[in-house]
Structures are given as structure tokens and as C-alpha cells.
Amino acid sequence: MNEYYRSAYRPLLALDCVIFGYEEGTLKVLLTRRKQEPYKGAWGLATGFLHEGESLDNAAIRILKKQTGLDDIYMSQLQTFGDVGRDPVERVVSLVYYALVRVDAYDEKLLEQNQAQWFSITALPKLMFDHEDMIQKSWGKLRRKSRYQPLGFELLPEKFTLPELQTLYEAIHQKQFDKRNFRKKILATNLLEKLEEKQKGVSKKGAYYYQFQKDKYDELIAAGFNFELKSMAFGS
């Protein structure tokens, strides 16, 4: 190593993962108890340091796998947090990713093993470091991005009803949408496949189940299709 590199300051690089889930009409975040000082026992995000020879994305995948037991997870890099005093022990720069997880696919045994728990996005406990800021900025990015990418389907089971889909987007955006307008415009995307099966035990008539056609969406994007959910489903 030459003198130019040897003389450079070397802070620690951590990765923090904001894991979103959706259940019973509520957008949730997966938090875990910290097992070491400082802030031992406090609630925070899934976190870990970058390993030697590891790419940033692979480090995030490793942390998410340890926390959720899942491999194929939607994740996206948010931003870097690097305030000088954010960690009282060492200078730690943190790269934040946010991820979307289907709660029904999550191994609940890991909750106890990782001392983890799902919390409503609107009722978070006191968090360590700057994790509250990380969550709020990730939520803001999720709201904005869900207007032009169909990210919401990453949080739903493989089959869902239109009312369930609308409730999800209302939970993400914390606002109500007109039922008729939402249904008309979301179906206009032609990305949902209507199934023969109906939901049972909710109403006499029952709502039909739908599936998101991811392969069709990928083909349309590759062909230059502009998926603009903002104008399609939000009436703006």
C-alpha cells in the first residue's frame, strides 16, 4: 500500500436495514434488541459491519438473510448516514438499505432467536442511534417510489383482493383513496390477473382474488413502458 492510501483516515462501515412488512392493514417495521453496548437492550434496525472482500449489496443480503431467513427479498439502497457523533464508541459511517418482506413468508422462530418484533410504522418505540431518521427517510422513499413502481406487491401474498391492495396503499401513504377510482385505474395497468377464486368469510358476495403479473411488468419495462402509478391510482 502506498503512502497516499496508508495516510487516509479509515472509519468503520456499517450497513443498517429497514425491513418493511404489511399485516392486517398496517405497514410495519421489523426491529431487534441490541445485544451489545452501547445501547444494549435498545430497539434498532438489523445491522452489521462490512466484511473484508464483500460487496455492499452482498453485505446487505447477508444481514437480511440472518434477520429474516429469506433469500429473495426486494431491497434498495437509500443513503449514507455519517454524522461524526452518531456512534459514541467509534467513527461509524452507515449505508442504509430498505427491504420489503411478506410477513406470511417470515420464519417466526427467528423473532425469538433474534429478539425481534414487528412494530407499526406509526407506533415505533424509542430507537438507538439515528435509526428513527433512517426509518422515516426510508418510508418517504417507499411512498415516493410506490407511485411509479409497483412495489406494494412485494408486501402482499401471491393472491390478494382489490380491497386488500387498496388498504395496503392507504397504509403506505396514510391517506384514503376513492374506491371506484382506485379500482378503475389500477386495473387499467393490465398488470393484474383476475383469478376464479373468491375470498371467503368476509362478505356474502366475496371479492375475487388477483395476482400481480411480474413477468409481464418486466417485459413492458424492457420495451420502454412508463408505469406511472401516480396518475393511474392516486388521482393526481
Distance CA 190, CA 51 (A): 43
Instruction: State the cell numbers at 84.
Output: 461524526
Report the alpha-carbon distance of residue 78 to residue 106 in Å, rounded: 23
> Would you state the cell numbers that stand for residue 137, as one nine-digit string?
427517510
Q: Concatenated DSSP letters for 139-168?
A: HHHHHHHTTTS-GGGGSS-SSEEHHHHHHH
Task: Please give the radius of gyration of the chain, using alpha carbons only, rounded to the nearest integer.
Answer: 20
* 119-128 pLDDT per residue, tens: 999 999 999 9
Residue 202: pLDDT over 60: yes
pLDDT of residue 190: 87
Per-residue pLDDT tens over the stretch 57-82: 999 999 999 999 988 899 999 999 99
> Grid coordinates in use for 185?
385505474
Instruction: Kindly give, in sequence order, each residue whose CB lies less than 8 Å from that of residue 60, ignoring residues fewer than 6 positions away.
Output: 15, 17, 75, 77, 95, 97, 99
Q: How far apart are CA 155 and CA 121, in angstroms?
A: 14
Q: Check: CB of residue 147 under 8 Å from CB of residue 94.
A: no
Strands (E), the chain: 12-23, 26-33, 43-44, 46-49, 74-81, 92-100, 116-120, 160-161, 192-198, 208-212
Q: Read off the DSSP letter of residue 188.
A: T
Q: What angle do CA 204, 164, 158 make, to 5 degrees?
A: 105
Domains of the chain: 3-145 (3.90.79.10), 151-233 (1.10.10.10)
Model pTM score: 0.91
Look at residue 236 in the predicted model and tell me its pLDDT. Answer: 45
**Number of H-type helices and E-type strands within the chain:** 8, 10
| Residue 232 predicted with pLDDT over 60 | no
Q: Quick count: other Cβ atoms within 10 Å of Cβ 112?
A: 9
Check whether 116 has a pLDDT greater than 90. yes
Please tell me the least confidently modeled range out of 136-140, 165-169, 189-193, 200-204.
200-204
Q: State the pLDDT at residue 229.
A: 59
pLDDT at 201: 66
Q: Indicate if the pLDDT at residue 158 is higher than 80.
A: yes
